[in-house]
Structure 1
Amino acid sequence: MPYVVTQSCCSDGACVVACPVNAIHPAPGEPGFATAEMLYVDPVACVDCGACFTACPVEALQPHTKLSDAQLPFIELNAAYYREHPHADRPILAAIAQRPVVDARGLKVAVIGAGPAGLYAADELLKHEGVSVDVFDRLPTPHGLARYGVAPDHPKTKQVIELFGKIEREPGFRYRLNVEAGTDVTVEELRSSYHAVIYAVGAATDRRLGVPGEDLAGSSSATDFVAWYNGHPDADDVHYPLEAEACERAVVIGNGNVALDVARILTADPDELAATDISDRALLALRDSRVQEVVVLGRRGPADAAFTLPELIGLAGHDDIDVLVEGGVDAVEVTSQKTEILAELAARTPTPGRRRIVLRFHSAPVRLVGDASVEGIEVARTEVVDGRAVLTDDVVRIDAGLVLRAVGYRARPVAGLPFDDERALVPNEAGRVEPGLYVGGWIKRGATGFIGTNKSCSTETVAQLLDDYEAGLLSDPTTAIAPFDYEIDHAGWLAIDRTERALGEAADRPRVKLTDRRALSEAATPVVPRYSAAHAVRPSRSRTRRATAALGRP
């Protein structure tokens, strides 16, 4: 099997278009594309041309001869897809509908949100000559979850940012960063200044547990914890008590990919994290951390675990931490590739003194216990009845000083737009709220899918927008939104990027993120000649001196 899709697959779909023999599925437009855990290469049809490797923005496609021992399970994972979903009658080329180029010269669109969904939407629009797109974001930096959501020890997945850089250089593209829609500019002002507005603001909050003790100190959302270790400006002054003796054990509620990310970061070797773009504040805290065990709770059994198989394979391949299953081999019935790997983990013998992640199934939180802060969590065993996980009277206490809930993201209502509170999204038809007003990404479809899923999602939304434009349903702009004093444009973002990369180069890291708004604004402003590395907390004094020297500053 010449080429294999591996863990960092973002489902962008660029490889599908590049493949000359249509050997990569599910393709955009095919059943399962938006929900598949990854894309898969057909071992029979692949002709080893390497076109997919070149097209992949995150280096997920690799020749089978280049796989590490930990990646070898991906060979069977790719092949198994085609045993279950044969594509024997496929055409020679991938059949992906492409909208014909329309005459949209003079079309002005505002995109709210500079994450993957917003940038993919801008890309689709700018394929048409004469279109201009202004991308707004409340943060001083773009790229959304690609910058602040992807775990720092997944650098290949972050490479999609290089693709976004190409989009940013397209004619007609403009950034208006550090400007918050709904606060700095209203939806009415946006609609009078552009032919159309696309909201791609994501899902910024987390779901609640609804159990007693949830608001104790030491209880937090995985959403906030991820923002903290990824250097999000909103989390710049947050502290987690990892150095406390009670934090020798942490509990993560939920067992999706985010839960695995959090557990992995908490148990990772800080020296290895020091080579990533993790926040300096988080790195310092993790160096002092007492965490030895992270228990990951799932309401259902192993077969229904929410994490994807690629993420499980990646976790199982770590040789510096123990990954265990509570209850041992008796807790796992092998019915799938996922449970086969879980059974192998369940049979492992823990290594004394090594940090560990314990996957505990059929477990649901009942109450967080403690006085001023979390001291433990009461967990009920569950049974699946008629497809639902039902709590039993079998309740145990797990001592822990940190509890993180990772039970899903949730969108907030958007000022000036209708909102379905039950589904946590803006009601829409294929992205159209009404002519002139559109949505894309998680605010459109709910918090589902991967980074690359936003590409096909945004393509659908833009198609609706262009249909309305051709039908004469969009009003011409009557005003213009003047630049704000604090606004950051593309040149400002590039200045921030250069500063972070320079700090990173001096510290043998890909970048050192600036984590507070003042530092980011100063770095973005060319008239500030003496940016101080002191604005970013450094992991060591020697690194600070090296970074400052690299920028030519005292």
Structure 2
Amino acid sequence: MLHHIAIIGSGPSGLFCADALLRQRPDLKIDVFDRLPTPYGLIRFGVAPDHQGTKAVTRQFDRLFGGGSLRFIGNVAVGADLPLGRLSEHYDAVVLALGAHADRALGIPGEDLPGRYGSMAFVGWYNGHPDFRHLDPLLDAPGIAVIGMGNVAVDIVRVLGKTPAEMTASDLCVHAAEVIAAAPVTDLYIIGRRGPAEASFTSAELAELGRLERVRPIVEKADLPDGLPSGIDPAEAKIKEKNLQILHDFAARTDDRPVKLHFLFHSIPEAVLGQSRVEGLKLKGRAAPLSAGTVISAIGYRTAATGDLPQPNQNGIIPNDNGRVAPGLYVVGWAKRGPSGTIPTNRLEAKSVADRMLADFADDTAPAKSGSAALDTWLRQQGLTVIDWPGWKRIEAAEIAAARQGSPREKLADWAGLRQAALPSETQPAAPRAGQQ
């Protein structure tokens, strides 16, 4: 029996799920929906712009879309433009691959002051997410504090600390590159509530901070234990031992660099200080506040669902039984388990959900549903402008053509520009003649 599947979200979890399904059932027809005009989700908008190797997984997904069984339906927000109930009428199964796109609140006074940003917004700004193109963060003071001790926090301080030359081969958006290059930063702070053994950054990302041209990491030796405490998961012990060694190496450094990166462990933020904007950060037990004109919180994300999509619980995930939300409805990735793990973490999990879905199909005697043909008619009737795979490839070509020397692309970062670039060449506005600029 031919089955039609809809996947909501074109990030790595959704596409790993599609890959796992098609490897076992190449006869399936799968449509991948995204509210953005571009695919790849976290890979495009979450992975740091100077980590191009991590983004290479998109080549695998490119081949997947080129196989004829997978369609991209961009610029359509399921739950808002397209109700989930309508989608379920046409597809035998729906997979929620929504990710986690809402910043967790700090829950302290002053976090609403201008100059305090969540990492989703800040990273989205420098990575060209159209929702955050006009964030225009305040980066005009010498001190910048980043709250969090995970890889996202490490990414942020690294991007802020690198010189323009060090970012040449990245796809850091030009609107962000100019602001960061002009920032008068002299002190970066990375702040964690717990100790160095509990920090969640990985060793490779931590070690990078010691190789930056203008940045000296500063760690107080008194903050570092000689070894790991008891009770550490053996699977994580090797990484944490390596982290402690790197931090001990940082503590031993005596070189001078124009930018100091201060690691503050066992530090609990109590209030963001300032009148009309951020001026500092008060930490529990510390007499003097940190002098910082920018505070960025990187303390995790939660899933946000609109319209008739299932709502996340108090833990920020969509309730599920090993990936099954309800008959015919499944969930993968961060929306299933919370924002943890790396991109490869999602591959094995997505396969387990795909296996469960196919097992459910084997027990299902209902006739297959109509799939995309009927839905395409409905989308046209609603006047929705779908950006398909060829439309995305036109966006991609425009970004590659606009790239600065050494950079792989210059991302189009506003909604209008993305939608315009997706149009076929015959519908593009004519270029102005000489004298009409």
Q: TM-score, normalised by structure 2?
A: 0.90
* Aligned residue in 2 for 1:208: 105
* Aligned residue in 1 for 2:254: 349
Q: Whose relative contact order is higher, 1 or 2, with alpha carbons under 8 Å and at least 6 apart?
A: 2
1:173 matches 2:78: no
Match of 2:29 among 120, 132, 136: 132
Letter in 1 for 2:246: I
Deviations 1:267-292 (A, max 9, x none): 11023224311111101111211112
Letter in 2 for 1:458: A
1:520 matches 2:414: no
Question: Does the residue aligned with 2:402 lie in a helix, a strand or coil?
Answer: helix
Separation of aligned partners in 1, 2:222 and 2:366: 62
Q: 1:167 to 1:478 in 2, by over 3 A?
A: closer
* Aligned residue in 2 for 1:258: 152
Q: How does 1:340-419 map to 2 (within 5 A)?
A: 340-352=245-257, 354-381=258-285, 394-413=286-305, 415-419=307-311
Separation of aligned partners in 1, 2:86 and 2:356: 22
Q: How does 1:310-329 map to 2 (within 5 A)?
A: 310-325=204-219, 328-329=220-221
Match of 1:230 among 124, 127, 136: 127
* Aligned residue in 2 for 1:143: 40
Separation of aligned partners in 2, 1:303 and 1:121: 34
Q: How does 1:491-510 map to 2 (within 5 A)?
A: 491-504=390-403, 507-510=405-408
Tell me which moved more, 159-168 or 307-316: 307-316
Question: Does the residue aligned with 2:412 lie in a helix, a strand or coil?
Answer: coil
Deviations 1:392-446 (A, max 9, x none): xx44311110000010111114543544522211111121112211111111111
Q: 1:512 to 1:233 in 2, by over 3 A?
A: same
Separation of aligned partners in 2, 1:281 and 1:119: 30
Question: Does the residue aligned with 1:136 lie in a helix, a strand or coil?
Answer: strand
Question: Does the residue aligned with 1:179 lie in a helix, a strand or coil?
Answer: coil
Q: TM-score, normalised by structure 1?
A: 0.71
Letter in 2 for 1:248: P
Q: How does 1:458-477 map to 2 (within 5 A)?
A: 458-472=350-364, 476-477=368-369
Is the contact between residue 161 and residue 212 of structure 2 (CA under 8 Å) also seen in structure 1? no
Question: Does the residue aligned with 2:81 lie in a helix, a strand or coil?
Answer: coil
* Aligned residue in 2 for 1:69: none
Is the contact between residue 436 and residue 475 of structure 1 (CA under 8 Å) also seen in structure 2? no
Letter in 2 for 1:431: G
Match of 2:189 among 292, 295, 307: 295
Separation of aligned partners in 2, 1:435 and 1:301: 44
Deviations 1:29-84 (A, max 9, x none): xxxxxxxxxxxxxxxxxxxxxxxxxxxxxxxxxxxxxxxxxxxxxxxxxxxxxxxx
Deviations 1:2-38 (A, max 9, x none): xxxxxxxxxxxxxxxxxxxxxxxxxxxxxxxxxxxxx
Separation of aligned partners in 2, 1:312 and 1:509: 24
Question: Does the residue aligned with 2:284 lie in a helix, a strand or coil?
Answer: strand
Deviations 1:75-122 (A, max 9, x none): xxxxxxxxxxxxxxxxxxxxxxxxxxxxxx511000000000111111
* Aligned residue in 2 for 1:60: none
Deviations 1:275-325 (A, max 9, x none): 311111101111211112110111111111121222212222334421111
Is the contact between residue 113 and residue 137 of structure 1 (CA under 8 Å) also seen in structure 2? yes
Q: 1:201 to 1:531 in 2, by over 3 A?
A: farther
Separation of aligned partners in 2, 1:130 and 1:231: 36
* Aligned residue in 2 for 1:190: 87
Question: Does the residue aligned with 1:433 lie in a helix, a strand or coil?
Answer: strand
Separation of aligned partners in 1, 2:342 and 2:170: 22
Separation of aligned partners in 2, 1:168 and 1:350: 50
Identity %: 38
Q: 1:492 to 1:322 in 2, by over 3 A?
A: same
* Aligned residue in 1 for 2:174: 280
* Aligned residue in 2 for 1:438: 330
Question: Does the residue aligned with 2:88 lie in a helix, a strand or coil?
Answer: helix
Is the contact between residue 125 and residue 462 of structure 1 (CA under 8 Å) also seen in structure 2? yes
* Aligned residue in 1 for 2:142: 248
* Aligned residue in 1 for 2:320: 428
1:120 matches 2:16: yes
Is the contact between residue 163 and residue 213 of structure 2 (CA under 8 Å) also seen in structure 1? no
Q: CA deviation at 1:198?
A: 0.4
Q: How does 1:28-107 map to 2 (within 5 A)?
A: 105-107=1-3
* Aligned residue in 2 for 1:334: 226
Q: CA deviation at 1:347?
A: 1.4
Letter in 2 for 1:491: P
Q: CA deviation at 1:331?
A: 2.2
Separation of aligned partners in 2, 1:473 and 1:218: 57
Separation of aligned partners in 2, 1:488 and 1:192: 22
Root mean square deviation of aligned Cα: 1.9
Q: CA deviation at 1:357?
A: 1.4
Letter in 2 for 1:351: D
Question: Does the residue aligned with 1:210 lie in a helix, a strand or coil?
Answer: coil
Q: CA deviation at 1:493?
A: 0.7
Tell me which moved more, 394-403 or 186-195: 394-403
1:164 matches 2:66: no
Is the contact between residue 195 and residue 475 of structure 1 (CA under 8 Å) also seen in structure 2? no
Match of 2:165 among 258, 263, 271: 271
Deviations 1:113-169 (A, max 9, x none): 000011111112222132100000000000001000011111111111112111111
Q: CA deviation at 1:364?
A: 0.9
Question: Does the residue aligned with 1:302 lie in a helix, a strand or coil?
Answer: coil
Separation of aligned partners in 2, 1:451 and 1:417: 24
Tell me which moved more, 296-305 or 417-426: 417-426
